[in-house]
Structure 1
């Protein structure tokens, strides 16, 4: 049983050494990455005070009064001047980071605006620029950009910031001028920076115009990644024709697997499935070991019903957890148990990391193949932080009952109900499965309790009301069963199963038969070939005294499915008609299907006292 663990974050606090200025301390402790702002904030929260001179000199303690000579020592007359907060760099940086941690961008911008004026570090000014633009303060942004320039920002950085500010203010010509400076700056990441300006714009139309004006084939570098990035940006900005133009140009100029894959994506986006598949096939041919391409191509083949072709593509080449999962899904859709067995054998012998991340899939495959004990072992190996951990525990409980270990199954579900008290969706499901297992065991009183607990978590849940109504009916609490079914029909008036359940419950109790007739007739019209509804209709006819009609309907339902409860009803009707031998034959078949059928035992006691 899994217990969800909560980790405790214990980080070592590094105290800056002596002999360094506050600027140096800040640079080494924050920008180096060895000590995070979070750690510095912990000092403030703990009430510590960091002094630059603390601990630098260990002076011996002198009990006697100082002599005149001692009093005249220079250090004795030394006065340490501490800056006010507005001129304390470390204080402003800490205040800025604390504001950021609280998502208070305005306060963070103000603190970084002060910090950049007393710091010689261009990174501080760069952060001040970003924050000023983020809070839409153009004056502060311009001051920060000027300070950044004075501290040595590159021409590309300045052009990017000024372009971003111009886009923010809707200044199309200035934005274009600055973006032109950026892409001609010689900066290796210039086009990445260009894209960041446009993707963050609050005006997609302006961004799209700038992209089409500057991101042209004659401007783009000889780098397929830049072409693909601009094409994707165009698609995101709604410039589909531009995106297609650049994608086609990249495909013609570079012809790499990535260019084929992106061109395929655009065709798929435009509804051209055949064209997309053809391009993906070309991409996969160019890079046959690219797992991502194989997965994408195989997924599309599978969606087209080409399971065998997709499976053949995936079984060749490198394997990982995703390829095994898709191979299993394709085989399951094709109802190919032989291939499922092969995938199971290969995956169970895969490297440890693949096998560990695929434990839930291995459990599912083992279940499908009938290896229930093995499935239990795999489910137990699903990591606690896996997305399928909860489902693995549920499946384990169901398997335990299948293996005749009902007490363990219910114990597992009880532990889950404790572990997931703070997660309503999982808690509801744990109660529901518990109730379903009790229904299987014909422990109807326990089932009603479990359903009631689930309904406390999810009041008026239709599935839970339906299940509890069935359980109430089985233990003879007809009024409670009827109340649940009526409530369900108030919530979902067109619920066919609820109409049938309420109609049958009333007919079985031999009460409100006119209402029962209306309800079952409605369900029968919606599902004319449903054996369970036919059973309800036949049993209603029996209650109404229409024995011949009841026998005809029930015989048809019995022959279509050989359901034990339908057989019990048919046998009783035949017995009442005087066809005792035929009734006994039906009862014998019911015993063969379900030797412990409670309805059969009760019926025989009533008919043969």
Structure 2
């Protein structure tokens, strides 16, 4: 099966969702739930030109979410207590303008280790690295017998790019606290990040020998294996971590990731399904499950998982923002309205609010109201998206000239952006205006002759025009520009199958496609149909059942799968499959033809 819509960067552009929906697991050496505060500061530093290298460094920080002076013998005056409480409250509110000066007064008046620890952690959470490092050094000086002070300072040194100093500090701390597995794990992380995998592995194996019941050590071994692209070894370590700590959500997510990296996304899916069923409050695992469903084409299943997460985290605006595009895609208007109401309440100034108000109005064909909402996006990061949607509302009303005028305005602001002609071509394609679509793409290719997405779109238009030589030329250019583009190989191969031409060559293209993307359900469908045409119904059934498991009742897959079942003598099963498909897709000519002429 082929996908005949414009593509960008190898994936179909989803103009219905301005935000990328992805909830990735924490970094290979990520934080525990109680340590997540440091991530807030990470975004500021990573966004100031320090790049991706800094992000993993911030994940090395260990920030404990407890009152730092609880139980400590600290004599507090009225003034010092006032500053401490002000500092802690301002930190919770993420108000650095108040929090940092209050912490400065606190450490000046009560310069003891617990207060310095709290100040250092707060400064790290608020993104003030220099102050965090300054207070962490003083904390470590006052509490040399506290391994946490050394680990925290080492994390800050990593964030500041002082790798050698962090390495030296951790090695000295390990010599002083040889049985502290947390120091060993952090040191192993640093060694691994510097490519010293052998040293890191030896250190972790020592930890495992000394602490055979340490789930954390097993998790660290698994992460190390993933860093070395050894997913089978990683899976073994994560399984042991889960045996020791069955409820450890991070280990479950990483176990699923190790299965996916072994090329078995279905096993990863089944594993997470079982884990989530056994752990009803597991949010991180459910988020990863939703992402996995989406990667396999399971939009409906992903939406249901997000609905479960919204019950667990009703005050998290990101969850409602992620639900909205799926609610619209599922035509769940009540669900979309409910998600929008929550998002408006939790994040009233987010540009997603008017964007999705416009989307809901648009899907209900309230075109003027939709344009009014999209106009509110001017001056926000979604301004261009809003104008694109305005163009689509005009196009949907048949006002082609106005739609093109809106697109031309965006094109004038972004003359070298290939996305606008891609969208123009897509709109024209939807109206079966293939000639104009081809002209738009040809003009764009004159300016961007090495844009693979434009060539892919040009190939799809050529296919629709029955210009098969033009299609093959365009797709071969895509392959030249992006040798790993499985969809281009699949497109040529499936086109040949549909025309019953050069089946041997079609098989070669599809073999390459399935090698590049073995879990892609569209390619599985193509390969299954190839084996059907070759007369190997058992192999065909295997591939088509996999495609059906991921794509659900997609008419083309049902038509193919039913014909294979028919050939295998399972006629009643085939008829039932086609009838069920027609109930959901009554206009499908493929399913109608299959029932009439099996």
Normalised to the residue count of structure 2, the TM-score between the two structures is: 0.48
Normalised to the residue count of structure 1, the TM-score between the two structures is: 0.48
Q: With CA pairs under 8 Å and 6+ residues apart, which has the higher RCO, 1 or 2? A: 2
Structure of larger gyration radius: 1
